[in-house]
Each structure stands twice: as structure tokens, then as C-alpha cells.
């Protein structure tokens, strides 16, 4: 049947990871644990930073933004994924799919920019410590945060516009666990080359440019740290940088592979696994790596716990 005689789809069927019932139950338990840890970890970071004045610094201001973004991203994807693990028919309406893309893609793009901004903050703190307070002013921090959100929204809106200008007729089975643009393009009823090129160009802006800035920042940090006389000081900074770079590799690496490779009409299992890293795993890891291992955050948590205990005794 010609595409001109096919009706536009009103829903998509998401295949997810597996059709085996036992595997889906195991995946449900695993992702439920990850989701709970993600929500609790990011909420804790946001509350601690808001309530403790000692954490009202540029670094924790950006961390609060990152935790908020992680929380939004996780809540936009994981609850639906969990419900689909237990459902026989894994469907989402066309407009529900559009809504999910609008909810997830801007946040993911914003995180790309935020991680670059956070690396710049660490570069200034380590390489220009005497000028840190004069460079990282409140006004600059606010502008960098607003710029991250604005760039994430702008880039994603371009991607979303070009993707949903395509017709979707007949074929509505998406081999993925959520509505992600590369997977949706595979079921579009038109040539997607120009759309792929537009998404590739936006990927250069929001993926390759930030990761380049991050690598430059950490390269300068490492060069500065090597000159530190104290072995303990070097070890501490290298440990922190190493942890941050692990998150960068997981987040940007998986995102670059999924969004900046030639599109084919089949979704490989690898693509879905890679998506898990930047949609599920890194939102859980970010609070642990960037905050909960930090001495200042641990102290803030103890102060908050002591305050709660005090009020309970009153």
C-alpha cells in the first residue's frame, strides 16, 4: 500500500528490552532500585544545598541545577519504563510520545552544557584559586546556568521540530524503551537524511563542543595538579577528576554514539543499552560522584540530621 493511502499513526508500540516475562520482572526490580536511589539522592542534594548556607557557593549552585535536571530526566522516562515492564501491551499515544520528547531532550541537552560549565568552575578553582571569587561571581554563575538551560532548550527545539515535521504513517513499532528521536526516525514515512544532518549539526553544538571544553579544562587541571608538592593533595584532586571524567565518558560517549552516527532502519540492542547510561545510570551516579562523596556535603547532611533530631525532641 502506498504511503499516501496510509493513515497517520495515533500511537507507538515500544518493544523495550525483552519480551521474556521473567527477564522483564528482573529488569523491573533493577530499574526500580536505580530510580529510587536517583530520586532520593538528587532530592537530598537539592535540599542540603538550599538549607545549608555553607553550600551557597558556585560549585554547589551548579550541582543543584544538575540534580534538578537529573530528577526531571529520570521522572520523564523511568516511571513509564517501569509500567511497561509489567504491561502486556507497551504503547504510548502519538502526542504522549511528543510530550515525552519535549520533556526529555531539552533536559538532556541542558545537562551537556551544565557539565561543561561545572568543569570550567573546577578549572578556575584549581588553576586560578586567588581569582576564583572575582571570576565566579554570583552574576556570572546565574548567566552560565541560564545560558545552559537556554542553549539546551534551543538546540532540542530545533531537533524536535525537524523530527516531528516528518510524516509517521503505518509503521508504529519502535524498538526502544522510550520515545527517543533516533529510534523514532527509523519508523518515519519519508527520507530522513536532512533531519539526520540537522540533528548531527546540533550534536556538534551541544555534545562535541561541551565535551571539548571539559577535556581542555581537566587537561589544565591535571597540568596544575602535577606541580602540587603534596602527594596527598595530588591524589585527592586526581581522584575527584577521575570520578568526574568517568561520568563525562559515560554521558557524552553514549550520547555521541546514539545521536551522531548514520541512521539505519534497524535499532541495535547496543543503542538501547547506550541510552540507559545517559537517561538512567548517570542521573543516579551524579549525586554520588559530584556531591555525596564530598566532605562539605557529608557535614551538611550531619547538620541537617541533627536539626531534625532536635526538632523531634521538642
Please indicate, yes or no, if residue 2 is contained in any of the structural domains: no
- Spatial CA neighbour of 35 closest among 65, 80, 66: 80
In this structure, of 61-75, 260-274, 280-294, the range with the lowest mean pLDDT score is 260-274
d(CA 266, CA 176): 11
Please indicate, yes or no, if residue 1 is contained in any of the structural domains: no
d(CA 265, CA 116): 33
Please indicate, yes or no, if residue 3 is contained in any of the structural domains: no
The pTM score is: 0.90
Please indicate, yes or no, if residue 294 is contained in any of the structural domains: yes
Please indicate, yes or no, if residue 37 is contained in any of the structural domains: yes
CATH number where 148 lies: 1.20.1070.10
Buried b vs exposed e over 78-93: b needs ≥16 C-beta within 10 Å?
Answer: bebbbebbeeeebebe
CB 284 within 8 A of CB 78: no
Please indicate, yes or no, if residue 80 is contained in any of the structural domains: yes
d(CA 178, CA 78): 9
Whether the predicted pLDDT of 3 surpasses 90: no
Please indicate, yes or no, if residue 75 is contained in any of the structural domains: yes
Q: Which domain holds residue 170?
A: 8-313
Average of per-residue pLDDT across 204-222: 91
d(CA 127, CA 6): 61
If one counts the domains in the chain, the total is: 1
Please indicate, yes or no, if residue 64 is contained in any of the structural domains: yes
- Long-range contacts at 211-215 (CB < 8 A, ≥ 24 apart): 211/112, 211/116, 211/248, 211/252, 211/256, 213/116, 213/119, 213/120, 214/115, 214/116, 214/119, 214/248, 214/252
pLDDT in tens, 64-93: 999 999 999 999 999 999 999 998 889 999
Amino acid at each position: 500500500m502506498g504511503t499516501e493511502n496510509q493513515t497517520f499513526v495515533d500511537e507507538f508500540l515500544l518493544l523495550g528490552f525483552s519480551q521474556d516475562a521473567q527477564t522483564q520482572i528482573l529488569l523491573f526490580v533493577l530499574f526500580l532500585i536505580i530510580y529510587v536511589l536517583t530520586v532520593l539522592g538528587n532530592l537530598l542534594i537539592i535540599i542540603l544545598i538550599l538549607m545549608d548556607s555553607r553550600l551557597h557557593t558556585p560549585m554547589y549552585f551548579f550541582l543543584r541545577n544538575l540534580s534538578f535536571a537529573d530528577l526531571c530526566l529520570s521522572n520523564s522516562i523511568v516511571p513509564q519504563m517501569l509500567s511497561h515492564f509489567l504491561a502486556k501491551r507497551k504503547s504510548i499515544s502519538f502526542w504522549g510520545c511528543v510530550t515525552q520528547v519535549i520533556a526529555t531532550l531539552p533536559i538532556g541537552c541542558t545537562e551537556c552544557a551544565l557539565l561543561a560549565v561545572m568543569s570550567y568552575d573546577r578549572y578556575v578553582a584549581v588553576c586560578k584559586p586567588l581569582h576564583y571569587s572575582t571570576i565566579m561571581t554570583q552574576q556570572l554563575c546565574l548567566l552560565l546556568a541560564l545560558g545552559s538551560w537556554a542553549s539546551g532548550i534551543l538546540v532540542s527545539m530545533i531537533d524536535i521540530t525537524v523530527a516531528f515535521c516528518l510524516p509517521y504513517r503505518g509503521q508504529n513499532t519502535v524498538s526502544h524503551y522510550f520515545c527517543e528521536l533516533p529510534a523514532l526516525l527509523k519508523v518515519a514515512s519519508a527520507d530522513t537524511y536532512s533531519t539526520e544532518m540537522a540533528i548531527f549539526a546540533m550534536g556538534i553544538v551541544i555534545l562535541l563542543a561541551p565535551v571539548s571544553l571539559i577535556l581542555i579544562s581537566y587537561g589544565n587541571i591535571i597540568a596544575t595538579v602535577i606541580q602540587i608538592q603534596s602527594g596527598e593533595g595530588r591524589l585527592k584532586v586526581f581522584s575527584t577528576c577521575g570520578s568526574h571524567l568517568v561520568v563525562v565518558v559515560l554521558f557524552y560517549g553514549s550520547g555521541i554514539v546514539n545521536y551522531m552516527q548514520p541512521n539505519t532502519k534497524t535499532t541495535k540492542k547496543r543503542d538501547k543499552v547506550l541510552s540507559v547510561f545517559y537517561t538512567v545510570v548517570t542521573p543516579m551516579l551524579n549525586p554520588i560522584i559530584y556531591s555525596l562523596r564530598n566532605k562539605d556535603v557529608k557535614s551538611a547532611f550531619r547538620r541537617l540530621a541533627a536539626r531534625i533530631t532536635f526538632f523531634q525532641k521538642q
